[in-house]
Amino acid sequence: MTSLKIAESFTKRHNVARLVYFECFDQIEQAIHREKRLKKWTRAWKIALIEKDKSGLE
């Protein structure tokens, strides 16, 4: 997958080229709440969350 990296953004600064996890929400407030909760998680917990659903990406 090719990344354009046009804008001065997080993805450009951190050389992000691949989406490894996402969740869908009906309301933006739900998505913001979930993001704030995930930010408090440890790196190990986040990796475990990604690995749990990774089988569908390969």
Question: With contact defined as beta carbons under 8 Å apart, do 53 and 21 qualify?
Answer: yes
What pLDDT is recorded for position 15? 83
- Determine the 3-state secondary structure of 43 from DSSP: helix
> Any idea what the Cα angle at residue 44 is, between residues 38 and 14, rounded to 5°?
70
**What does the alpha-carbon distance between residue 48 and residue 10 come to, in Å, rounded to a whole number?**
23
Q: Is the pTM of this model over 0.75?
A: no
Q: Is the pLDDT of residue 58 over 70?
A: no
Domain ranges of the chain: 10-57
What pLDDT is recorded for position 23? 94
What are the pLDDT digits (tens) for 4-52?
656 677 777 888 888 888 999 999 999 999 999 999 999 999 999 999 8
Question: With contact defined as beta carbons under 8 Å apart, do 5 and 11 qualify?
Answer: yes
What pLDDT is recorded for position 29? 97
